[in-house]
Structure formats: C-alpha cells, structure tokens
A and B are shown apart, each in its own frame.
Chain A
Amino acid sequence: MKDRKFRPEGSLQFYDYERIERHLAQMAAKGWRLERISGLGWHYRRAPAKKLTYAVEYFEEGSDFNAGLPNSQREFVEYCEAAGWQLVTTWAQMMIFVSEEENPTPIETEPATRLETIARSMKRNFLPGSIVMIVLGLLEAGLQLPGLFRDPVGFRSGAGLYAGLCWLLVAVVFACRTGHYLVWLRRSRRAVGAGGDCLPMHTSWIAAVDRIVLAGEIVLLAGMCVRLGVRWLGCMAVLVAGFYLNLLLTWRLRDFLRARNVSAWTNRLVTIGFCAVFAFALTGGIVWYALTAW
C-alpha cells in the first residue's frame, strides 16, 4: 500500500486559509497528513486517521528563498509551540500548523490583526505576481492586435489569433483571483471595522474558472496545431515540455542554493535570472527553428 501521496490541489487558493484548514483536517481524518508543499503540489504521508486541527497563517517575511526561518519567524513559531501548535511546513508567506488538542486556542484571536497580517503578506508575493501575469497576458494579447487590423483574413488562419486568445485567458484567470481577493479584503475590512469577523471566501467558483480556462487553453492549442499542421504540434510539445523543465530546474536551483545557506536576495537573483535566460533561449530557439526550417 502506498504510504505517500501527491496532489496538485489546484482548487486551493493561496489566500483561502479556511478552505485549506478544512481540507487538511479532512485529509488527516482519512489518514493522510500533509508533509510539505512543493511547486508541483502538496505531499502527504499515510498516518493513522485522526481528528486534527490545522491553522494556516501568513508571515510577511516568509519566503521560499530564505535559507531557514528568519529569527522573527522562528520566534513566531515558538509562540505557537507554547500554545500547543506544531509547524508542519511553510510555503512562501504561508505557514501551516497542526494541533492534536481537542479545542486549541486559535492562533489568531483578533479578526483585525488577522486581516491586516493577510493583507501585508499578500502584498509581498500574491498580488505583485498576479498583477505581473495580468499585465503580461494583456500585453501579449494586445501585441497580436496589429496583425488583426493589417490582415484580418490571414490573422484568423494564423497563429496570432490562438496566441492572443491564450494570453487573454491567462489574464482572465489572474484577474478573477486578484479581483476576488481584493473584494473579499474590502468587505472583510468593513465587517471587522463594524466589530464582526473576516468574511468567508467562497473560492469554489475560482477553481471552476481555472478548470474552464485550462480546458479552453487546450482546445485553443489543439485548434492551432490542427490548423497550422503537424510541425506546429511538435513545436508546441517542445514549448510545453520546455516550460515544465524550466520550472523544475528553477525550483531545484532555488532549493540547492537554499541548502547552501545562500542569502535570500542572491538566491532570488540567481534563480529568477536562470529562469528568464532559459525561457528566452527556449522561445528564441523555437522561433529561430520556425523561421529557418520552414
């Protein structure tokens, strides 16, 4: 029987702490305990089924580039341990704790403090990353527009239409996530200001949007390959494989530098630099092949 399990958990949004807590408690009740979170997904190990309470916290200074926890984060963990919570794992600004007590004191007992901690942490990673993806998606889609005006017939039968729509869908996904989070933050601030609690997030529709967009991307890529021929299919396969290879190598490099106690800034610089050079070389290579071979 397998004693390890790996799940992508694409339906869990980074900021939806309540849903993550519920999900992990359900997994523990089924005999699967979270071990760690990697770029590819969530890793579980088999353990006796047990009723456990999970808490998801966000720590502004947390980062996957840190070589170990900074002192401030270590102190935070010590406070939690003193209250009966054990750190399971960290993932960027997210920290996941577990308690075996029947009714543990929650890690956050004041909604206002919790909300502002979430807001500060999301500003560090989630929001800038999402905004970059929205701008990139719109920019790439927009770059295809001149082709549409110059040669509408050729545009519809060429790669520009498909590429433009694919990037537009990327922008839609990240716009939905960012918009949903910002609306939740504003409404929760209002509720907390009036003496209430943070509002529930209801992110299941975001997961549905993700699935629909993924299906749309596959249909678009398949359509492009059918229309443009088998050579394009080969190029797309190389592009997708290269994309995942780039991600894997980038994560490996980051973990390698972290294990060697390289400072967070140097690690970030080297890792992002490597990722950018690899992506540039990959797309440049494919474009060069397409221009010279066809």
Chain B
Amino acid sequence: MPREKFQTLTEQMFYILLCLRETCCGADIMERVRAITNGRVAVGPGTLYHLLDSFVGAGMIEEVDVGAGGRKRSYRLTAAGRRALAQEFDRLNRQAADYRRCILKEGEDA
C-alpha cells in the first residue's frame, strides 16, 4: 500500500525527502524547503508532521535521534527513500523531455 501511495511524489513530498539527504530535525524542514525553493514552496506544519509519519511507515525515512521527552525527532533518508526520490526525478525529466519535444514539434510545424 505505501509503495502505491508514494508511486509519484507531490512537490511537497519531493522537497521534504530532498531535505532529508542530511539528518534534519522535523521542525527545521519547513525552513529548509523554503530556502531550497527561494520561498516558492511552503510546507505547512500539519502536512509536514503527517507526511513524516507516513514516510517512516513506508520505510522511506528513518528516525535517527529522539530528543528529551521523546520529542524533537530527527530523520534521514533511507535507501528506499533515495530510490523514490530518484524515480521522481526521472519522471520529472521524462515529463520535461516530452514537453520540449512537443513544443519543438509545434515550432517546426508552424
């Protein structure tokens, strides 16, 4: 089920996983996504919390550190998470290539 759920990644899922190529505390991810995308993409705290939980459940990320009182958890990407990120990158590239081919064809036809 989780594999099917994350077969394609939304923009927010993509950037959350991208941030977690380095170990990162959950609450810091929002700022990192904003920085990577120059403020274009904002991940809401509720969405972030629930997606991190789902990613852990799907084995795409893992908890690496739990702070005092069981809070302030940090996460990092697993091999499965890296594969999902790479697959999404390929999918986006194929999409971009299709776009270029179609637009170029239109230009040639005109």
Taking a contact as CB atoms under 8 Å apart, the answer to whether B27 and A71 are in contact is: no
Taking a contact as CB atoms under 8 Å apart, the answer to whether A109 and B69 are in contact is: no
Find the residue from B10, B69, B71 having the highest chain A CB count within 10 A: B71
Taking a contact as CB atoms under 8 Å apart, the answer to whether B27 and A109 are in contact is: no
Inter-chain CA distance A75–B49, complex, in Å, is 9
Give the A-B contact count at a CB cut-off of 8 A: 66
Taking a contact as CB atoms under 8 Å apart, the answer to whether B49 and A76 are in contact is: yes
Taking a contact as CB atoms under 8 Å apart, the answer to whether A75 and B46 are in contact is: no
A181 within 8 A of B: no
Query: Given contacts A71-B71, A108-B46, are A113 and B30 in contact (CB under 8 A)?
Result: no
Q: A184-202: which have CB < 8 Å to B?
A: none
B107 within 8 A of A: no
Residues of B with C-beta under 8 A to A83: 30, 44-45
* Chain A, interface residues (CB within 8 Å), range: 20 to 34
Taking a contact as CB atoms under 8 Å apart, the answer to whether A75 and B44 are in contact is: no
Residues of B with C-beta under 8 A to A76: 45-46, 49
Residues of A with C-beta under 8 A to B72: 75, 78
Taking a contact as CB atoms under 8 Å apart, the answer to whether A78 and B27 are in contact is: yes
* Interface 0/1 of A98-115, CB less than 8 Å to B: 000000011111101110
Cβ 8 A contact of A113, one of B26, B47, B71, B73: B47
Query: Given contacts A71-B69, A75-B73, A78-B71, are A109 and B43 in contact (CB under 8 A)?
Result: yes
Q: What 10 pairs between A and B have smallest CB-CB spacing?
A: A79-B45, A109-B44, A107-B46, A71-B70, A82-B27, A83-B45, A105-B42, A80-B45, A75-B71, A108-B46
Which A residues are within 8 Å of any B CB, using their own CB? Answer: 57, 71, 74-76, 78-80, 82-83, 85, 105-110, 112-114, 116-117
Which B residues are within 8 Å of any A CB, using their own CB? Answer: 10, 12, 26-27, 30, 42-51, 69-73
